[in-house]
Chains A and B, each alone.
Chain A
Amino acid sequence: MPAAVPLARRAFLARIGVLGAALGGGGLLTRSLLNPADAATNPLLPPAVDLVRPVLAALARDTLNGLTAFALPGPDQYSRTQRASSRTPGAMEAGATDFMINALEHFVPFPDALAQPISAALVTGLADTGISLPGLEVLPAELRTLDQAFAALLQSDETLPLSFPIAGLLNLMATQVNPAAVNGPHLSPFARLTYAEKAKAFELIEKTDSDLVALLDVQFPEPLKASVSGLLKFVGGALIEFATFGAYGEFAVFDPKTKQLRKRPVGWTLTGYQPDGPVEGWDDFIGYYQGRTEVHD
């Protein structure tokens, strides 16, 4: 095993879901793509860093599918995996994952100066937490390539989509709650959890003095240090609130050009809101309480 990839780091990559997404059963990269020998003999093969980028995107989407199904379960596979599903449409049908990704990647005005070190911390920062990782038998050479690709991506000027550290955080907590979640259906550990386990993952994020906060803080110089722990407390709540808002809103069916709805939002159907669409008013005026139309001292 190459010294450049210590065990803790490899375990960490597995825990935030990257190894599984890249190389596990159903993973997005074939081992040969990352095989240095192949790369050396095939000049047309994209550099590993280009291979990693779509893996991260797919991992983030899968993780967020796990999150939005948690916010609004439906008849989909993610809801079934969490063992809380529903016959009526849920977050997948409402396009809530697209809502989250759109927000995280284009509109969260989160400074790169912070996103970048958080991402780096999530990939490199944690010590071995002593959790055994079943079923992880990756060839060292492949792992090394992947690891280097990561390092290259994180060190480049390229802005990482914010969905990556968010997914990393959720997956890290997922494997804390259930170490076996490094393997299984879906791409991400978080999506493999039951509903109760997902709740436990959020409990860990929300815990004010969580070890995670302490560990991540180590990676930041003062005065950013205190900011990161506060930020994580905020993120735990915001992910749930925002995913739920997105699942019940009109994002997926709203046409920004015409400012009209393409069809009825899932959230409206579920709640019976505005059965005939937007209105100019309602016939809900009953009168004035006790007939009083004005008051004076």
Chain B
Amino acid sequence: MRDVIVIGAGGGGPVVAKELAAKGLDVLLLEAGPRHAKPREEWTTFEDDANNPLTGYFRLGPTDRSKPAWYREWPQNSFVWQLSGVGGTTQHFYGNYPRAYPGVFKGYDGADRNEYDVNHRFPFTYSEMVPYFEWVEAIMPVQTAAMGHKEQLFFRGAETMNLPVQTTKTTRGPSYRPQENAILQPGGTAGKTSDKNLLNYPQATGCTFCGYCFQGCMRPNGAPRNQFAKRSTDNSYVPMAVTAEVWARGGKPVELIADAYVTRVHTESRHGVLTASGVTWRDNVSGDEHREDARVVVMSGGCTENPRLWFNSGLPNPNGWVGRGYTDHFFDWMIGSFDDYTGNPKGVGSSARLDYPPYGGLENVGLPPALNAFAGTLSDSGIRGQYRNGRGQTGPWDGPAGRLMGPELKELLAGGIDKLLTVLVITDDDVEAQNRVTTSALPADENGPIPKVTFQQRKRTKRTLNNREFMARKAAELLRGAGAKKVYRIDWAPLILHVQSSMRMGESEHNSVLDPRGETRAVKRLFIADNSALSNGLGGPNPTLTSQALATRTAEKIFQTYFDGDPWVRKETPVVSTDPRISVRLGQLGL
């Protein structure tokens, strides 16, 4: 019998595991995918090897890459970018750590208070969340992003838009700024040389501007795992979780098992109350099933897998909200082409942003060639110059929106990938019951019936659709201001990459799965701690910080409710994840 079993070692699970391990609980952390313990041997810097969703080392599938990936049903033109493996999608993320907008929390009374997703606010206040933001920001640590050429260009565009520069952690209104990133700032030779002989740790520390965030961060070369620049959970929370005894008084290291696919959450009735009692997982390699019991079970498999596990476990869904209310920031993609060098594929994937509550935001995104080509061809608006698929919006960009492909894409890229500046359009999108995860009617895989992710992209709320158009226009304005000679709008089909709120926490029992403490309403001792627990799409900010802050709060609630403990965030000082005690212990463990 464990104290706690955490299902999923992605962006959220390791937070709960680390926090409770620090309090001395016996925690088992199960991960369905691989554990990349030796990135220098397992990873490269190549897009197909890394990011091919079928064959890459960053895919949704078992460790053995000769086996197919796990199939998921998407009944529309869309792409749900799931990742298995320790670190989850933080393995390929850009470490962007903005805070959620205050307007998405209970009790917000700003002048624009009625312009957010008012029916799906967080069930507690922004000020209650702040200590948890600060706690995570200190652990990662979150730092103001260093600037490369693509950021300089982004700022040049933003400077033409009559907006202030945000110089606080909290976003109070439309503004622009360098990202607050969970990326260690460059030190020593990092960012100052391209000579690989000069870029070994500790001569170089922090971000070396390699441009490979999306292929996984293993730099500077030779650094201990917990001092790699990008603070994916496999470089931060997981190292802390498995070394808890050396940095936390009374801490107990977490046991982490990879290739362990949880197929069932077990429950029993205790005094007439349905209560979680343990899990069954399947070993991807041997196919053997294992069962283990726990006092508390935490689901952290993500927005798509948590609902699947819920359904496959036969858990009750009295209000029908399991899997519903999935938000994705209804992204769009804008490409500006320039006469001059932009530095597009260098440096952190994104180090500059523009926030525009209550509409959404923008951020620059640098991509290598194949991903750039992919991003230019994912569209709900047909092919530019050929057909519009019933859409093809026109506006302050050049020509109709649509795929930039074939000869047109080739000609654009022939000018040089480093003469492009690409901007991600982030929409403040509403929680909608119709955007959801259900169980697919397609054949089950070895882990049971598979999830089906449905997004009705053309039938979203008026507010969501308007917000997206508003932000796309702002993106065009920014690119023009930066000096783009041409601006292309792709009108992305749903690229489901920022995922939120499919098992949402809410004030009302009528439209939420979790109560305001993070425990499921239907099953006691069962908690959810990852992006799916978020109450809404946060107004547009990238979700990881808010998700981890909420997971920290949930860890406190678990400790208080079921282990007679006291909360710690308001009275303790967090240990930073780069702590040398962790590095030393990782070395002893061969990690």
Q: Which residues of chain A have a CB within 8 Å of any CB of chain B?
A: 70-73, 84, 86, 88, 90, 99, 103, 106-111, 113-114, 195-196, 199-200, 202-203, 206-208, 223-224, 226-227, 229-231, 233-234, 236-238, 240-241, 244-251, 254, 256, 259, 261, 267-268, 270-274, 278-290, 292-297
A173 to B440, CA, bound (A): 28
- The CA of A202 and the CA of B384, in the complex, are separated in Å by 13
* A295→B144 contact, CB < 8 A: yes
| Residues of B with C-beta under 8 A to A288 | 144, 146-147, 178
Give every chain B residue within 8 A of A267 (Cβ-Cβ). 369-370, 373
For A244, give its contact among B61, B347, B373, B418 (CB under 8 Å).
B373
Q: Which of A109, A111, A113, A223 has the most chain B CB atoms inside 10 A of its CB? A: A109
User: What is the bound-complex CA distance between A240 and B405, given in angstroms?
Assistant: 9
Q: Mark B155-195, 1 if CB is under 8 A from A, else 0.
A: 10000000001111110000001101000011000111110
| Nearest B residue to A266, CB-CB | B369
Does B442 lie within 8 Å of A114, measured CB to CB? yes
9 contacts between A and B (CB under 8 A): A109-B54, A241-B79, A254-B49, A271-B369, A281-B209, A286-B147, A286-B149, A293-B185, A295-B166
Task: Evaluate contact between A273 and B368: CB separation under 8 angstroms.
Answer: yes
Could you tell me the distance in whole angstroms from the C-beta of B555 to the nearest C-beta in chain A? 24
Is there contact, CB below 8 Å, between A230 and B210? no
Residues of B contacting A111 in the complex (Cβ-Cβ under 8 angstroms)? 71, 442-443
Q: Is the CB of A108 within 8 A of B68?
A: yes
Interface SS majority for chain B: loop
Q: Which residues of A contact B52 (CB under 8 A)?
A: 103, 245, 249, 251
Chain B residues within 8 Å of A245, by CB: 47-48, 52, 370-371, 373-374
Among the listed B168, B186, B410, B441, which residue makes an inter-chain contact with A86, where contact means beta carbons less than 8 Å apart? B410
Decide: A284 and B347 in contact? CB cutoff 8 A. yes
Q: Is the CB of B168 within 8 A of A296?
A: yes
Cβ–Cβ < 8 Å partners of A286 in chain B: 146-149, 151-152
B285 to chain A, nearest CB (A): 17
- Shortest Cβ gap from B412 to chain A (Å): 9
Task: Give the docked Cα–Cα distance between A231 and B76 (Å).
Answer: 7
Residues A297 and B155 in contact, CB atoms below 8 Å apart: no
Q: How far is the CA of A103 from the CA of B56 in the complex (A)?
A: 11
Contact A234 B54 (CB under 8 A): no
With a cutoff of 8 Å between Cβ atoms, the chain A residues found around residue B569 in the complex are none
B383 within 8 A of A: yes
Asked if residues B373 and A285 are in contact (CB atoms below 8 Å), the reply is no
Q: How far is the CB of B516 from chain A (nearest CB, A)?
A: 24
Residues of B within 8 A of A231 (CB): 73, 75
Contact yes or no, B191 A71, CB < 8 A: no
B418 to chain A: which residues have CB within 8 Å?
272
Q: Among residues 30 to 57 in chain B, which have CB atoms less than 8 Å away from a CB atom of chain A? A: 44-49, 52, 54-55
With contacts A195-B406, A289-B151 taken as known, whether A295 is within 8 angstroms of B77 at the C-beta atoms is: no
Closest to B441 in A: A223
Contact flags (1/0) for B365-395 with A, using CB distance below 8 Å?
A: 0001111111011110011001101100000
Given A247-B373, A272-B417, A279-B194, A206-B389 contact (CB < 8 Å):
yes
**Which one of B170, B178, B413 contacts A270 once the chains associate, using CB atoms below 8 Å?**
B413
A254 and B49 CA atoms in complex are apart in Å by: 8
Closest-by-CB residue of B relative to A200 is: B387
Within the assembled complex, what's the spacing in Å between the Cα atoms of A238 and B445? 22
Q: Is the CB of B210 within 8 A of A281?
A: yes
Closest residue on chain B to residue A236 by CB atoms: B77
Which chain A residues lie closer than 8 Å to B208 at the CB level?
Answer: 280-282
Q: A271-B369, A280-B196, A289-B177 are in contact. Are A297 and B169 (CB under 8 A)?
A: yes
